């Protein structure tokens, strides 16, 4: 979920490929890396770049009895 300052550039193959590689694996990026990856330098997309991302992992999930 994100504002148009983030989702607009996501329509470009270069930015989408960067995020697919960075966020598509099993590792969750640390906060600073996430912020750097979410920032695009695309022209005309210099407004609000708010994005919310959830990663689902099985790490630290208690097992059912």
- Residues 45 and 9: their CA atoms lie apart, in Å, by 7
pLDDT in tens, 38-63: 876 666 666 777 888 888 776 665 66
3-class DSSP assignment, residue 28: coil
- What confidence tens digit (pLDDT) does each residue in 12-21 have? 778 889 889 9
Side-chain-facing half-sphere of 7: CA atoms under 13 Å:
8
pLDDT score of 65 more than 60: no
The single residue listed with the structure tokens 């990856």 is 37
Partners of 2 in beta bridges: 51
Q: What is the pTM of this model?
A: 0.64
């Amino acid at each position: 979920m994100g504002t148009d300052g983030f989702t607009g550039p996501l329509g470009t193959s270069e930015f989408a490929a960067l995020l697919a590689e960075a966020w598509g694996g099993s590792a969750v990026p640390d906060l600073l890396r996430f912020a750097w990856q979410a920032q695009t330098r695309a022209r005309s997309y210099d407004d609000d770049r708010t994005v919310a991302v959830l990663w689902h992992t099985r790490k630290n999930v208690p097992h059912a009895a």
